[in-house]
Structure 1
């Protein structure tokens, strides 16, 4: 099934409707990682006006009209990280999480929402400024606050709108972040299950992942210290 551009669909809650503006097939290949084919969708009318993407994988059309016994589709909300996704930075776990998510979702069928929310919503330059503060002893959340930002400024309203545009109001969420589930639920998306990603630990991101685990209750279980 092709989602027709400009076609309005039922939406969750009281949010304004959005339109799918385009759909294009994109073959993906990560060196040393997954190979997959995605249907990439763009949208009109998202709440923040940003150019977020939805990538549909596998036999995704069947997931739009599940039977009563079928599981909810697998979905990941992935916030853009230029340094990790593109340049392979080891200061975070974003790049490995993106590759893991594409591998899992392409195998099972489902959706990856690529959200333009660099640096937990503070932007690329501010994220790099926060890195400098982290080098002087602040953790990732303290650095954001020191720059005059919130610890995490992401708003997942556009994600709920994108899911709603496809008629999806129930998902299995691939995420370690409890805030994603809380926000989606408040926006009318039922989370039938929350599945954690792997723990992509490196010497360079140990403090970063520790802060996520200890300050914001990310479901991260570190391997025993040797």
Structure 2
């Protein structure tokens, strides 16, 4: 599990604070310890890649994350990756990874619409579902996935529709890929567009950014 910050790692003034909170205040170990049930479904290792509110995401962060994802997926002892992320730019990060990740192993991007301190925090169940999804055979070869609110979306197609509701992530034109139900993913369709290992996009190892404003690709 690679942590990048966001609302899922946020905290509020009280348990009823669901807006006006501070994002990216909770570290990866705290997030993992808050969901002890994870130990029953996978062997999860956590790594704090960076800790930001996702509106501050830029090219440098994207490249750092993509390179780390590809490095880990090349290891035999890694079956899948979960990335915790803020929801403001979760669709942009997911789509970028869908183009440059060079593996068929599952990559699941997950976030939350309420901070970790909220009485109705959605982060823990989203994390639990994301880990199950990332470790499932069903998710292999499906491209980068965005999983929140028991729903599975394709990185290429998903969009954020609301600033505060838990069901904000949707795919208006094509619909969800599937759902999480009973601790198991159920897929009803899949993206047929080229992605991840089959994408013709340049590997992030051959890309560089200048002043965090533009990226250039070097042919390999």
TM surpasses 0.5: no
TM-score range, shorter chain: 0.3 to 0.5
